[in-house]
Structure 1
Amino acid sequence: MALSADARTITASAPGKVLLVGGYLVLHRPHHALIAGASARFHTTAEWEEPASSRASPAAGLAVRVTSPQFHSDTEFRLSATPPHVFEGEEPPSFIALAIRVALLAAGEAGAAAVAAAAGEGRRLRLTLRADNDFYSQLPFLRVAGEPVTADALKRVPPFQPPPTEAALAEAEASAAGAVAAAGSAGRDPAAAGGADGGPAIRKTGLGSSAALTVSLTAAFAVALGILPGEDAASNGPVGAAGKAWLMRCGQVSHGLAQGKVGSGFDVSAAVLGTQLYLRVSRDALADAMGAAGAALRPEATGAELSAGRAALAGPEATETRWWDLEAGPAGLPSCVDLLLADVSGGSSTPSMVRRIEAWRTEGDTQAALWEEVAAATRSAQRALAEVAEAEAAAGADGVAAALAYAAATTPDAWPRGLPAEEATAGASKLLERLAAASAALAAWRGLMRRMGNEAGVPIEPASQTALLEATQALPGVLAAAVPGAGGFDAIYVLCVRDPAVRAAVEACWLDFKGEGGQRVVPLLLTAEPDDLVSGGVRIAQGNPSV
């Protein structure tokens, strides 16, 4: 059922991702990656409007307007009612265009009928894109606004804050350095943007914004047209299993086509399902589906190509394998462990780093042996965190509280000794042992990742990051500090015991840290989504998140 007159607005949101353990290995089966879905979300709001136009017929196509107030973008076009659903007018950016067209290809006749019906009624579909602030560095905004880099200042940044312009940022930085009079930037609007100012100062934090955009847009568009399996205009909450399976297939294909490559797909999987232990889809299976869909989306596609494209996106009948051979299971991430992420704003070229590691690991036996050591350490770290979760479940509420209170005040070397005898229980002591073991396993994994980077000449953990990580690791309550994903200069993350004082101490450490060349470290406000494949991932909500 498409959106009705009395239920005109819905919003689909999809989480970002943090690849905790399994970087580089995630590219290759049978290796798994531990991925946290982030509380930071990308939102797409779908709303039917009555355009001031007399072009109300299926032949005229569906009027669509895609806006992003955050990035001052506004695109209008018409979408043909017949496959392969080409655009008339200004074609939207590739991630948006392919998300829409792949969704309609997957929906087949139902998609074409929905587009024709809406076009025949003369309605226009408005899609509004918004991203939570943590997807982008807020350091440029704070500098232009003249705000201090503090946790309180970050919390005061308005939701869906547009970035400042490059010109405004350059002026603010020059002023701060004494090159321009302080009055030169007084009263400037930090959200100013536009051609004369050189465009917005966008600094991504590596949370997978393009994948979260793809999944949220596909979901909102599909609900608006009534083509998302298992969902309709009244949906409110997590998307169901059938809808997630459909979004996984559409998202993997459209995101891959927009990127122009067959990637690992973990960022799309995180956007659909949230926190998980991920095993990538086979490269050949995804390449075949992308090839078939790409051929079906050509303006001159034949009927046979359209059928093949739909078949590539269809789910198998009567089987649990709903998205090729991709596997996503519970991550085993303990609820007593908190995730913190920091924006380091250093900048890294992940594709270049991946290419260099891929070339290095096949150079000889020595490299292959280290690669296997990294793989073994990755499995050990993932297993150690799962064992913390098991110990937490067995400890009981009082045991967990006692263990966390002790761990929050001490460092991992003290955890195996356990609580004082008068406070100890078997459950609390076991939990502390598992926390200490997980800390040791993560440290061993991190060391091997750093060694692999050094031997390959790839800055997986650059020296500047090492100094920051070591300062963070020394704090009470911290299990591990590491670089996420492929590593580099962009970000760091921390796993610590869930305690407000520990989180505050980590954030204070980061804000006080001064790296080489005045490097600043800005804590993000996000946390990890719960380790639940049912309630996590893509969601539908009634209304508009900005209202």
Structure 2
Amino acid sequence: MSNHDVYAVSAPGKVLITGGYLVLDQQYTGFVQATSSRFVCIILKNNNTTIDKYSVKVISPQFIQGQWNYHWNIESKELTEDETNTSKNYYIQCTIQNTLLIASKLCSDFKTLIETGIKVVIMGHNDFYSQREQLDKMNLPKNFKSIHSIPNFCSANCLIKDVNKTGLGSSAAMITALVSSLLGYFKIIDIPSNEQDYEKIDTKNDYCLNFLHNVAQYCHCLAQGKVGSGFDVSAAVWGSHVYRRFNPAIINDLYKLDKKELTAEKLISVLDPKINPNWDATVKPCHIPPGFTMRLADIATGSSTPKMVSKVNAWKKANPEEAAELWNSLSTYNNKVNILFEELTKKCQSDSETYWSTLETLKNYSVDQWKEYENNTNVSKDILDLLLELYNDFLQVRSCLRVLSQKTETPIEPESQTHLLDACMKCPGILMAGVPGAGGYDAIFCIIMEGKKSGEDCKGIIALEKLWQNWEESSVCPLCACQSNFGISKEDINNYLEYI
């Protein structure tokens, strides 16, 4: 298969560690951690160029009836549905329509490339969807070994509209991967191939990734019918970072245009960062410090994020002074957590031997025992103090979220989750445990000290697994995902031949 006939990419999921609710407001920031679980999108040239002229065939092999066929009208520049489609997929259709519209203007070979037709393959790693049913079918317990034994890109055994998601940002990762693969196939952008490439990127001035970010944000907002905070798309593009949202006014006017007015030229004038300098989202690279790992769990009881956000916004509007005080307090502790992540990373870089000896000594004990080791010759008091400060600051983040829960009568950190998180904090090496993003009943994350040696034999991970398996207040199912710092990435098609 020629490299000119295919373009494959993947985009990560996300976990919003700090910044829930605040990240909607441009005044505040949030720390979003990218995950190792990713959405893969592959664009291929159609083989039967006579029958498939100008066709766009989309396949999502994990779902029943996961195929949608379209036709690109080269004159009207519209994507029309094939009458044989058994269901609609607006997220995919509106993303392809707008990205192809942009490509029709910016790609000099567009007519030649689209004339042969294209095939689009979209797949999400297992973690984006609940695997409880799959584990039950395989008669396996809910633990890390079992979840890793499920085949990659496992069938969801349902229609796409019926799948149970785990809250890792599947729609944002999917749309970002789809936009990126289309822009790449039509030679408009090229993207990094590995984490080392990412380390060299200037997030403010990299044209390809900023253009991708803007197009993906627009398509995601269009698909969802609202302009959200955008942190999930930002994580899919840039990986882990501290995020400040873009001004919604930048793209609001695009939604007011009818089909005739929404031309390629108009879209490009708003979304191309070279033409429109008003895009003002900020991305500051940040990640979980070396020697720590993240683990996630899917909780059987779900929550409705839109309803929760709506209730919080209504309370904030009705109680502006009280809300401002709580928002500022929460922001203060969020920022402290973000800064301490950076300081610990710097400590690792400046005094590696002391940093690692401290972690290796403390990792087998719970946080409430760490203070006993401050005089240990293998433990740096400076590093220990940073760790305890981070631990206490995140407890304050959780405290503020519980106050917000109470005042808005919204289950941001509901009592059942508090019990589970507090129990997690008693396990060895657990630095932080919380509810990601908007909170609710459906997921938790834990930041675990594992030291130099990574893997599931870490004492803290083993203790968590045992706790989760025996937890009776709710059903806790681990995910495969851990942290991954880089964002959108070009993929080797040879790794996915069995799926296409």
Is the 2:291–2:356 Cα contact (8 Å) retained in structure 1?
Answer: no
The offset of 1:360, in angstroms, is 1.0
1:268 matched to 2:233: yes
Alignment of structure 1 residues 478-517 onto 2, 5 Å = 478-499=430-451, 500-515=458-473
Any gaps of 5 or more consecutive residues in structure 2? 452-457
Name the structure 1 match of 2:455. none
CA RMSD of aligned residues (A): 2.4
Among 183, 208, 213, the alignment partner of 1:222 is: 183
Among 1, 6, 9, the alignment partner of 2:6 is: 9
CA distance in 2, matches of 1:203, 1:434: 39
CA distance in 2, matches of 1:257, 1:307: 18
Deviates more, 1:483-492 or 1:237-246: 237-246
The offset of 1:431, in angstroms, is 1.5
Alignment of structure 1 residues 46-445 onto 2, 5 Å = 46-51=43-48, 53=50, 62-72=54-64, 73-82=66-75, 84-87=77-80, 89-90=82-83, 93-111=89-107, 113-120=108-115, 123-165=116-158, 202-228=163-189, 230=190, 236-237=193-194, 241-288=206-253, 290-291=254-255, 295=258, 298=259, 301-302=260-261, 305-316=263-274, 324-364=279-319, 365-396=321-352, 398-424=353-379, 428-445=380-397
Could you report, residue by residue, the CA deviation over 1:361-391 in whole angstroms, capped at 9, with x for unpaired residues? 2323334322322222222222232222232
The offset of 1:322, in angstroms, is 6.4
CA distance in 1, matches of 2:185, 2:263: 27
Closer/same/farther in 2, CA of residues 467 and 540 from structure 1, 3 Å limit:
same
The offset of 1:400, in angstroms, is 2.1
Closer/same/farther in 2, CA of residues 542 and 83 from structure 1, 3 Å limit:
farther
Could you report, residue by residue, the CA deviation over 1:116-159 in whole angstroms, capped at 9, with x for unpaired residues? 21344xx2311111110111111111113322223221111000
Is the 2:240–2:287 Cα contact (8 Å) retained in structure 1?
Answer: no
Closer/same/farther in 2, CA of residues 54 and 406 from structure 1, 3 Å limit:
closer
The alignment partner of 1:142 has SS state of: helix
Structure 2 residue identity aligned to 1:78: H
CA distance in 2, matches of 1:93, 1:115: 24
Structure 2-normalised TM-score? Answer: 0.89
Any gaps of 5 or more consecutive residues in structure 1? 57-61, 166-193, 531-535
Could you report, residue by residue, the CA deviation over 1:457-485 in whole angstroms, capped at 9, with x for unpaired residues? 00001111111111101112111111000
Closer/same/farther in 2, CA of residues 494 and 306 from structure 1, 3 Å limit:
same
Is the 2:7–2:44 Cα contact (8 Å) retained in structure 1?
Answer: yes
The offset of 1:423, in angstroms, is 2.9
The alignment partner of 2:311 has SS state of: helix
- The percentage of counterpart residues that share the same residue type is 28
Larger Rg belongs to:
1
CA distance in 1, matches of 2:365, 2:344: 17
The alignment partner of 1:116 has SS state of: helix
The alignment partner of 1:69 has SS state of: coil
The alignment partner of 1:137 has SS state of: coil
Name the structure 1 match of 2:34. 37
CA distance in 1, matches of 2:51, 2:315: 61
Is the 2:103–2:110 Cα contact (8 Å) retained in structure 1?
Answer: no
Closer/same/farther in 2, CA of residues 118 and 390 from structure 1, 3 Å limit:
closer
CA distance in 1, matches of 2:404, 2:3: 58
CA distance in 1, matches of 2:365, 2:267: 57
How many residues are paired up? 478
Closer/same/farther in 2, CA of residues 64 and 305 from structure 1, 3 Å limit:
closer
Could you report, residue by residue, the CA deviation over 1:259-300 in whole angstroms, capped at 9, with x for unpaired residues? 000100011001111101000001212323x437x54xx1xx
CA distance in 2, matches of 1:25, 1:376: 11
Closer/same/farther in 2, CA of residues 448 and 363 from structure 1, 3 Å limit:
same
Structure 1-normalised TM-score? Answer: 0.82
The alignment partner of 2:469 has SS state of: helix
